[in-house]
Amino acid sequence: MTHPISSLGAIHTVISLIPVIAGAYSFIRYDKIDPKTPAGSLYLISLTLTVATSFGVSSTGGLNAGHAFGLFVLLVAYAGAWAPKMSFLGRARPYLGAFGLSFSFLLSFVPATNETLTRLPLSHPLADHPMAPVVLNTLVVWLGFFIVGFVAQCRQIYSRNKALVQT
């Protein structure tokens, strides 16, 4: 059974597409989400707006685990954005930054996948609950993309650092 979407829910949905687009553009253009770029900055701002608008959207009528999850995603994203500036992290800084921002992008797909597959198509959604096999299998695919992408980012960071040392 699909749940009707409120006006705020529709606004939240539209806003939540912005970090997906900005994050995907960042990966395509820069091979990472970099908060120093306009796309990376837009990613963080729109992710924050997405989480903020989620507090007005609840099928249970109050705060729920999804809201806590959104705050966790923000914590991971901003930790990733700040990691390169924290000198005490040493050589791990660029790796932790890439991990945090990439992981926040992955985590954003958990509610997106759940909401999409339990609502669409309107006449007969693909999933009837968040733990349906199609939802879980889709999340496993997203996890695979994350792992491959993060390994590629680590190789790029390592190669860049190695080239800097040799010059």
Cβ proximity of 68 and 60 under 8 Å? no
Mean local confidence (pLDDT), 6-24: 93
Query: What gap in Å lies between CA 69 and CA 65, rounded to an integer?
Result: 6
Residue 30 lies in a domain: yes
Residue 1 pLDDT > 80: no
With 0-12 CB in 10 A as exposed, 13-18 as middle and 19+ as buried, what is 20? middle
- Asked, for residue 1, whether it belongs to a domain, the answer is no
Q: Which amino acid is at 64?
A: N
The number of distinct structural domains making up the chain is: 1
Tens digit of each residue's pLDDT (9 = 90 or more) over 109-163: 999 999 999 988 988 999 999 999 999 999 999 999 999 999 999 999 999 988 8
The whole domain housing 29 covers: 7-166
Which 8-state DSSP code applies to residue 29? H
- 37 vs 167, residue with greater confidence: 37
Going by the DSSP 8-state scheme, the letter that residue 88 receives in this structure is G
For residue 2, being part of any structural domain is answered with no
